Every structure is written in structure tokens, then in C-alpha cells.
Structure 1
Amino acid sequence: MQRNMSLDVLKLILAIIVVISHGQVLVGYSDLGYQLTVQGGFRIVVPIFMMVSGYFFISVIRSKSLTLWLKKVVPMYLFWMLVYAYFWLDASAVTPYEILRLLRVAVMGYYHLWFLSALIGAAILLYTLRNLPLKALLVMALGLYGMGMFFIYAGHYHLFVGTPLDVLFNEKWFYRNFLFFGFPFFCTGYLLRRWEGLRQWDRRYYMLWSMGGMLLLMGESYLNYLGFDGPRGFDMYVSLLVVCPGLFLWVSSMQLPGDSTSLAYYATALYFIHPLFISLFEALSYQPGNTLAVLALASSLVAVVLLKGSRKHLGFAFGT
């Protein structure tokens, strides 16, 4: 399949959004602006990353080469978990709780690396279910996402206050994983690749689809802002099921052929490296906000440019 530059441009833009989101741009400047961007519109990033991966996973299913795919992705996950081991591997307290916590982080990923863990789990699950009818896969994806949505809303709005469920539903790892988050969007990308008729629409329809979905996302985010009388983080919105497929189809329909492997590298490297610089500047007493976001982005961009020459030896770490 010929590389589509438009998707790599989108991935780079999304990676930049990740960096400024983790730097918490607009914090302390505009609560509503922060809610509608970082806690609202910017939530499209990981779902679209998942969808892009699922879209191209069709080659793995057709060639029955899951093992080869895992040999590429699993070492990437292990490498970056090792890079960030300083931040999560704390052996000073040897208690059953800490051991379980470390095992959970090792399996589900530290901070932003949960994406790779969820990606691996989603891919294995989809490959296992590859012979199911497409409609069955769609129903399963929607059902699992609906369950995850219930967990996060029940947790944030404390529908089970005073019970163990309230504590569990407020744990991000419980819903932000391969089953309730990764598989629905990964599977959606795969289904978009299989349903060729859906990809034959006029590009203007995808644009209207995307814009309508983004308005729904803004509205849903704003309602939560009103419900909590301030910013509140939601990883999963109903409207993500609308805006993300529309935006993906709109961008992919642009069909800009060419060699954009460098753009793909910059997007991947930026995603994996930036928390190191956020931690560095926080250690230098920079608080979350616009300044931290800009410094983290600028430093990360410089770093990925300088590291480009290492792709020959560390290509596996950047998916190249």
C-alpha cells in the first residue's frame, strides 16, 4: 500500500497536540479554554492514532503475520518502558500492594506508554476475532466502548459513592486499556479499511462529518464543564465515535502520495520523548501551563531532529 503523506502530516500535528496537552497549555489562563481543548477537542489524538494503526492492520490479517507485527511493536514497548523505568520502577517499598502496582504498570504501560500496551492488546484481540462478520465486530467495538464510557462517567459523577466500585471506576487503568479503549478504535480503523464504499464519498461530506463531530465533542465537553463547575478530564466521549472516523476519512481522502517516512519518524519520536522534557522543566520549577507546554514542545522538537541520525541503530524504537 502506497504511503499517504496526508496521514503522516496528521500524525505529526496530533503528536504536537499531545505534547502541549501534557504540558497543560491554558491551565491558569482560561479554565473554559482548557476544558474545550485539552480536555475536549484534543481528545481525538489517541483514538485517531489507534484508527490509523487498525486501518493498516489489514495487511497483517491478510498475510497472517501477527508474529512479525508483534516482533516490531513489543520491542518498542519494552525499550521505552526501560527508558522511563526511573519514573515507575520503585523498589524501595516491597509490599504486596506495590508489587501489584508495579506489575500493573509493567503490563499496562507507564504514563503515555499505555498507548502501546493498548495497541498490542487490541491487535491480538482483533486478529483472534478476524473471522467474525464485520457487523459483529462493529457491535462488539461499540459495546466495549459503551462499557468504558459507563465506567468513566459513573466514576466521575460518583454514581456508586461510598462503594468499592466508585474507587475502581475512578482508576484510569480500569477503562483506559486495550479492551474498552484500544480495541474499539483499532477495530474502527480496520472496519473503515474493509468498507470500501464508505471511502468513496465526496471529500466535502467527510469535512462536514468532521466539523459536525467536533461541534458535538465541544458540546459534550462543555456540558461536563458545567456539571463540575470547572475543568474535568474525560478520556472517553460519545462524540469521539463521530468526529474521529470523519476526520480520519477526510484526511486520508486527500491522497498525497510521496515519501513521508521522516514525518512519521518525527511524530513517533515526539510522542515518546516529550515526557522527559516535561519532567526536566518541572524539576526546574516550571509549573504546568503555557510556558511549560512551549518549552517542552521546543525542546522535544530539537531532540527528535538531533536523534534522527540514530534511526539506523534505534529504528525499532521509533517504528522505522
Structure 2
Amino acid sequence: MKATSRNILLDIFKIIVALFVIALHCRFLLDLNPIIYQIFGNGIFKIAIPLFFCVNGFFLFNVFKRNHIKIWVKRVGVLYVIWMLIYSYLRVYLNDFNLLKMIAIFLFGFNHLWYLAALFLGGILLYPFRNASNNVLIISAICLYSIGIIIQYLGVLHELARFPLLDKLMSYPPLHRNFLFYAWPFLSIGYVIRRSNFHTKFKKATVIILINISFLALVIDCLVNFYYLSHEVILNMNLSFLLFGPVLLITAFSFQVRSKLNSKLLSSYSIAIYLVHPLIIFLIFNVVTLSQTALTVATIILSVIASYFLIWLNSKLKYIL
């Protein structure tokens, strides 16, 4: 049977942003120029998570419509537990064992796995509101994301330094980088885009304008942070993500990259690369010292190779990806 050509631009985007996450964690471009690194490291590379959440929200529409929420919850939940068990060794290896910290880590996710924890709870939270109006979902998304940003800046600026305990709490990333203030906003936006078929209502010229506006807003966002915050500050949330993430999702459906490549396979590679790359970085660190650029290249190559074997293993065992 002849394979059908289909648009794989969204899958290409997902692989690209998965590589962005590697570049982010390897601190790519840090040795080149601090301003360029700020724009990429605290901005462009971090667009991966807003896009991933938007994509998941987009496809949750069909999950809810077909009443497959239990299947989805099981899949994401099992995926999270498996990878948390895999990375729990690193947590114990790198740090003195502390039961309370381990419980907190399991609830919020080790390192990059916070994304799965937030996705799991965010998807469950969105389900009972699946019939809420678009206005309610979008307004709640903007409000909750804004609250998350406020918490983030209160923490990085130490505005509550007079109250040490509260200041420490505000500086704790999971307080703003979680299912409520990060996952829900973009899941809701992606869900609304799919439910209203918003992604089919734009001319290509309009989408190009939106991309340029989004990118400019992101650059301005990053430059303001660069000049007004310490260069050591790590930000998880930028206000411009609220525009850029959804625009990238719409872009993926507004332009065509036709191919007979297996879309599911490409999607599996993006997930596998995202999940396995910290393990690759850890292994490289224990073997050789590399510059940020070399580390990024090595991690990408080894992560792609490891992903090939993970996809094969997943075909036998399931739930690994």
C-alpha cells in the first residue's frame, strides 16, 4: 500500500524545540556572547515548553471528545513514574538522600520531568472545564500565567527578603513552574485553538506577521531581563511566551511540509530526545570535560542515537515513550 503524503511541520517543530532544550541545558552560546545567550538561553530555547503544552492541549480536545481521559491519564502517569524511577538514581547519586526532598521531587518532578508532572495534573484539571467557554479558558490562562510570572519575579528579585521563609518559598521554582500557573494556561490555549478550529482561520501573510511580532516581543522581553536583572538569574516564564507558543502551533498548520515520513515516529523522537538527554549529559560529565558548544553537539548526537534504541524498546515494552 502506498504511503500517504502528509504535513509533518508540527513534528519537525517538536524535534527542533526538543533540541532547543538540549541547547538550554548545555548552556549553548554562553561562551559566545552574554547578550546572545540571554536571548536564546532565557528566551528562544525555552519556547519548547509552551509549544509542547499547546500541542498537548490541542490534542486533548480529541481525548476529551472520545472520552479517552482514563487512557490518557494512565499513559502519562505511567510514563512519569517510569522516568522518575530511572532518574531517581541520579538524584540519590548526586545528593545526600533526604526523604522529604525525595517526596517533593516525586510530586513536582526531577529536573526536566516537572513537565510530565505538570502535564498530568494540568490535563486532569482541564477535563472538568472542557465545556467552559473560550473566554473563560483564555482569561483564566492569562490570569494564572500572570500570577506565575509575578511569583517568579518576586523570587528572583527577592522582594520579600524581609521575610526569609516567604522569600525562600517564592524562590522555589515549583511554586510558579507547575500545572496551575504554567501547564493550565498553554493547555487551555491549545485546547481552545483546536475546539474553535482557530488554526485554520489565518492567511499565511497574517501568520508571518504574527511570528515576527512574537519574536520581537520575545527579544524585547529577554533584553529587559538582561539589563534589569542579574545575568545569573534563570527565568522559566516570559510574558511573550503567551503569544509565541500559540503562534508556533498555528504556524505548524498554516504552512505545509509534505512528506511520507512516519509522523508518529518523528513525534516519538521528540519525546525520547527530551526524556533521555539529561542522562546523556550526566554520562558525558563523568567521562570528559567539554565546552558548551562541544557538549551541546555531543549530547544531540548521543541523544538521537539513544532515542533510536528507546523507540525500539518502546515497541516491545510500551509506556517508555
Q: Is TM > 0.5 for Structure 1 vs Structure 2?
A: yes
Count of matched residue pairs: 314
Verify: 1:300 aligned to 2:295, yes or no: no
Once the two structures are superposed, the pairs formed by residues 149-298 of structure 1 within 5 Å of their partners are 149-163=149-163, 164-197=165-198, 199-228=200-229, 230-256=231-257, 258=260, 259-286=262-289, 289-298=292-301
1:92 shift after superposition: 9.0
Mean alpha-carbon deviation: is it higher for 243-252 or for 198-207? 198-207
Could you tell me which amino acid in structure 2 is paired with residue 150 of structure 1? I
Consecutive unaligned residues of structure 2, counting only runs of 5 or more, are: none
Mean alpha-carbon deviation: is it higher for 281-290 or for 173-182? 281-290
Q: Indicate how the Cα distance of structure 1 residues 302 and 261 shifts in structure 2: closer, same or farther if over 3 A, else same.
A: same
What CA deviation, in whole Å up to 9, does each residue of 1:264-308 have, x standing for no partner? 111111111111110111123525611211111111112223444
CA distance in 1, matches of 2:129, 2:202: 28
Once the two structures are superposed, the pairs formed by residues 98-137 of structure 1 within 5 Å of their partners are 98-137=98-137
Contact 2:30 2:292 in 1 (8 A): yes
Once the two structures are superposed, the pairs formed by residues 33-182 of structure 1 within 5 Å of their partners are 33-89=36-92, 98-163=98-163, 164-182=165-183
Contact 2:272 2:311 in 1 (8 A): no
Q: TM-score, normalised by structure 1?
A: 0.92
Three-state SS of the structure 1 residue aligned to 2:319 is: helix
Could you tell me which amino acid in structure 1 is paired with residue 104 of structure 2? R
Match of 2:28 in 1: 25
Could you tell me which amino acid in structure 1 is paired with residue 306 of structure 2? A
Could you tell me which amino acid in structure 1 is paired with residue 38 of structure 2? Q
Could you tell me which amino acid in structure 1 is paired with residue 172 of structure 2? E
Mean alpha-carbon deviation: is it higher for 58-67 or for 111-120? 58-67
1:5 shift after superposition: 1.3
1:311 shift after superposition: 2.9
CA distance in 1, matches of 2:236, 2:35: 17
Q: TM-score, normalised by structure 2?
A: 0.91
Consecutive unaligned residues of structure 1, counting only runs of 5 or more, are: none
Greater relative contact order, per chain length (Cα 8 Å cut-off, separation 6+):
1
1:229 shift after superposition: 5.1
CA distance in 1, matches of 2:305, 2:199: 40
Three-state SS of the structure 1 residue aligned to 2:45 is: helix
Could you tell me which amino acid in structure 2 is paired with residue 199 of structure 1? T
Match of 1:12 in 2: 15
CA distance in 1, matches of 2:83, 2:270: 15
Q: Indicate how the Cα distance of structure 1 residues 188 and 28 shifts in structure 2: closer, same or farther if over 3 A, else same.
A: same
1:4 shift after superposition: 4.4
Contact 1:155 1:170 in 2 (8 A): yes
Alignment RMSD, CA only? Answer: 2.1
Q: Indicate how the Cα distance of structure 1 residues 3 and 55 shifts in structure 2: closer, same or farther if over 3 A, else same.
A: farther
1:198 shift after superposition: 5.5
Mean alpha-carbon deviation: is it higher for 45-54 or for 251-260? 251-260
Q: Sequence identity, in percent?
A: 29
Mean alpha-carbon deviation: is it higher for 81-90 or for 118-127? 81-90
Could you tell me which amino acid in structure 2 is paired with residue 31 of structure 1? P
CA distance in 1, matches of 2:238, 2:290: 28
Mean alpha-carbon deviation: is it higher for 226-235 or for 259-268? 226-235
